[in-house]
Structure 1
Amino acid sequence: TWPLAASRIFNLFDSQTQPLRCGQDGLAACLLIFALSKYSDSWKAVRLPDNKVNLCIEEMLAELESLDSKLPHKDPLYPFILSSGERRNDTSNTSIRNPDWHKKGDFGILRIHPHDAGALGCGEGDWITLTTPRGSVQAPIELTDELQSGHVSLPNGHGIDYRRADGTLDRRGVSLNELTNTADRDPFVGTPWHKYVPVRLEKAINPTNERSVA
């Protein structure tokens, strides 16, 4: 037998030819149509007179001309580059706040190249303090050669608060927004550069899950 969710999906497909059909759980499944269009109508969405897509965006061309062929400047106070918000097999959306869904591993693992960890005097499972101009957090590390030396990553969807039935507050992992700065952002759309966050790393002397913001 199909799982309940799969049964509902197939019932929705069947409803294209059958107006209504009940699933195994007795719930009625129906098809909701948002829009109808034909392939021949596709080019009508291009509203320019010549029906061509305009790739010449003056603002972008000016930005390309200003690019420097040299390597990006590095701040000696924040020599590592953090990719904040890595999608992993054990991450979830922040809408799921109950941490009980996380069945394996630790929350908020920082991935780092073995060479960089060794230079900091750290090994697998040790805790590291990450500092940016905006804030400071701590996280346990995982050694991996999938990252280049000088780069580290933290997962998305962690560092949120969940209040349990007994009133206790459960907070796990790192809230990435406490590290990123809205001043460091894309000039066109205003999105912070989450995948290029300069950070300083130090071995944590007294590891703690508490976070401090400058």
Structure 2
Amino acid sequence: MRLSADLKAFQTRIGHEFARTELLVRAVTHSSIASTTRPDNQRLEFLGDRVLGLVMAEALFSADKAATEGQLAPRLNALVRKETCAEVARDIGLGEVLRLGRSEMLSGGRRKEALIGDAIEAVIAAVYLDAGFETARALVLRLWGKRISAVEPDARDAKSALQEWAQARGMAPPKYTETGRDGPDHQPQFTVEVTLGNGAHESARAGSKRLAEQQAAAALLKRLEAGHE
């Protein structure tokens, strides 16, 4: 299968030239434009998620031989979570080469965190199927780069950490409420407020509800841990 100019350029950006070019085409094909003759990337996403997890687990395991499972797990979560995957996808311009249906394109699909985060996992799987695990491993380590060594030793998902904080004090889980949405349809901004049972609350605004929730949780947790409540 011949590749379009944008996909040829994308190959250069990720540092892998596909022998089976149909794998790359499938990796960038969203379900909104899929058909019986044009399969989407969901199965590849499933496989790529596992390849990514194994590569990251191996890298963390080798980097800190004294770390316990309880210390390694949150670091792994920080590196494979959707927000991080989306950051990597943006770095390589993955959104620019996605094959999307018209409605998804008009709603800003090329910038949606979940969509491009899923797509980078599909690309990883495509490389794995095209050239094997070692090539896929090298790709992941190259694309994630300094994120691996820079991950915080006590990295925690902010929402999980806030929930643990509340539970340790006998409170109900934090409540997240979408309090606003503005901006154009193709690039919306969400405002989310997180509230605890003791009345403590914080808000955050971001390009996805998921990210806004994380940022609100992180802001509230920082304030709580500083003893401002």
TM norm structure 1: 0.25
Higher helix share: 2
The TM-score normalised by the length of structure 2 is 0.23
User: Which structure has more RCO (C-alpha within 8 Å, separation ≥ 6)?
Assistant: 1
Higher normalized strand content (fraction of residues): 1
